[in-house]
């Protein structure tokens, strides 16, 4: 059993109720509010964009109510979601479970209305004997839908033909496309190929006084910088490599100094 709670309604819930009450159903909606508050709506579930409910009336068996709005087609939803994706506020608010106040303008700018525009936009049916539509059983479902919108604003979108997952998936894709298009990569610099006749050449021998051989500032080797050798190399192998490195380094310095002295 579900009861209607009118206090502290979000703006989109209030908007839904105001739209319904503007259709000239004041007396019937008043009785429907009582049904909703007293918990006469025993069950309400969604199948795609359609609502199915069971409402307890004066008969022993609950009445069966169906309700749906006119769904938007793929092209119309494409325009709407593309418009939402252009501003990050819509994605952020909807992901947080809130309906941005300006969301209606997204639909109206695309020639659509999120909320029912006239009473003919709502298609409802009840198997009670009341010949007038909406009967109080249908009206009770109207009010309970407002509570459901409060819990999950995407239910309103679902009545228009798109689930929460469908909208958020497309929103993410659209936002990613917009983000990629906003990134402007700089043009790579134009580098002219070097010509061999422009390279610096120096054929004369260097002055020996310009050649200075000094020991390295640090005793660390490349092996120390690289760290431990991956695999199963033991400490003996590491020490052997360090010894080879030191021997080669000293030999290179010695050869350089000998060359420098012979040139002198």
Query: What is 153-175 written as a DSSP string?
Result: THHHHHHTT--HHHHHHHHHHHH
Q: For the purposes of burial, counting CB atoms within 10 Å of the CB of 160, is it exposed (0-12), middle (13-18) or buried (19 or more)?
A: buried
Any domain includes 62:
yes
Find the domain containing 224 and state its range: 209-263
The 3-state DSSP class for residue 46 equals: strand
pLDDT score for 102: 85
Indicate if 124 and 229 belong to the same structural domain.
no
**Total tally of structural domains belonging to the chain:** 2
Whether 260 has a pLDDT exceeding 50, the answer reads no
pLDDT score for 223: 63
Q: What is the largest distance, in Å, between two alpha-carbon atoms of the chain?
A: 121
Contacts of 253 (CB under 8 A, 6+ apart): 213, 215
How far is 189 from 45, CA to CA, in rounded Å? Answer: 62
The 3-state DSSP class for residue 190 equals: coil
Pair 155, 53: CB distance under 8 Å: no
Any domain includes 2:
no
The 3-state DSSP class for residue 257 equals: helix
What torsion do the CA atoms of 14, 15, 21, 23 make, to the nearest 10 degrees?
-170
User: What is the value of pTM for the model shown?
Assistant: 0.61
Indicate if 78 and 115 belong to the same structural domain.
yes
Indicate if 69 and 178 belong to the same structural domain.
yes
pLDDT score for 137: 94
Residue 47: beta bridge partners?
50
Indicate if 123 and 87 belong to the same structural domain.
yes
Indicate if 158 and 52 belong to the same structural domain.
yes
| pLDDT > 90: percent of the chain | 30
230 — pLDDT class (breaks 50, 70, 90) = low
Any domain includes 69:
yes
**What are the backbone angles phi and psi of residue 46, rounded to the nearest 5°?**
-115, 135
Indicate if 33 and 155 belong to the same structural domain.
yes
Residues in the chain: 264
Indicate if 125 and 169 belong to the same structural domain.
yes
**What are the backbone angles phi and psi of residue 63, rounded to the nearest 5°?**
-85, 150
State pLDDT tens for residues 16-51: 988 888 888 877 888 898 999 999 999 999 988 899
pLDDT score for 233: 57
Any domain includes 200:
no
Any domain includes 3:
no
pLDDT average, residue stretch 256-262: 54
Indicate if 152 and 38 belong to the same structural domain.
yes
Task: Single out the residue of 78, 75, 83 nearest to residue 178, CA to CA.
Answer: 83
């Amino acid at each position: 059993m579900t009861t209607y709670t009118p206090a502290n309604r979000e703006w989109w819930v209030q908007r839904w109720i105001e739209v319904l009450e503007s259709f000239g159903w004041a007396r019937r909606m008043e009785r429907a509010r009582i049904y909703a508050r007293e918990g006469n709506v025993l069950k309400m579930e969604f199948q795609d964009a359609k609502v199915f409910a069971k409402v307890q009336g004066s008969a022993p068996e609950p009445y069966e109510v169906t309700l749906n709005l006119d769904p938007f087609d793929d092209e119309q939803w494409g325009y709407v979601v593309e418009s939402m994706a252009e501003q990050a506020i819509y994605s952020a608010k909807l992901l947080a479970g809130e309906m941005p106040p300006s969301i209606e303008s997204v639909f109206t700018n695309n020639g659509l209305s999120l909320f029912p525009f006239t009473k003919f936009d709502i298609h409802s049916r009840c198997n009670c004997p009341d010949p007038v539509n909406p009967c109080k059983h249908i009206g009770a479902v109207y009010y309970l839908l407002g509570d459901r919108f409060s819990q999950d604003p995407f239910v309103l979108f679902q009545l228009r033909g798109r689930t929460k997952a469908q909208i958020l998936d497309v929103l993410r894709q659209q936002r990613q496309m917009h983000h990629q298009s906003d990134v402007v990569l700089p043009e790579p610099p134009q580098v002219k190929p070097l010509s061999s006749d422009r390279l610096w050449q120096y054929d004369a021998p260097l002055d020996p006084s310009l050649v200075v051989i000094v020991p390295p500032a640090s005793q660390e080797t490349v092996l120390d910088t690289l760290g431990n050798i991956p695999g199963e190399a033991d400490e003996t192998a590491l020490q052997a490599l360090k010894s080879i490195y030191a021997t080669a380094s000293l030999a290179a310095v010695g050869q350089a100094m000998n060359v420098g002295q012979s040139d002198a």
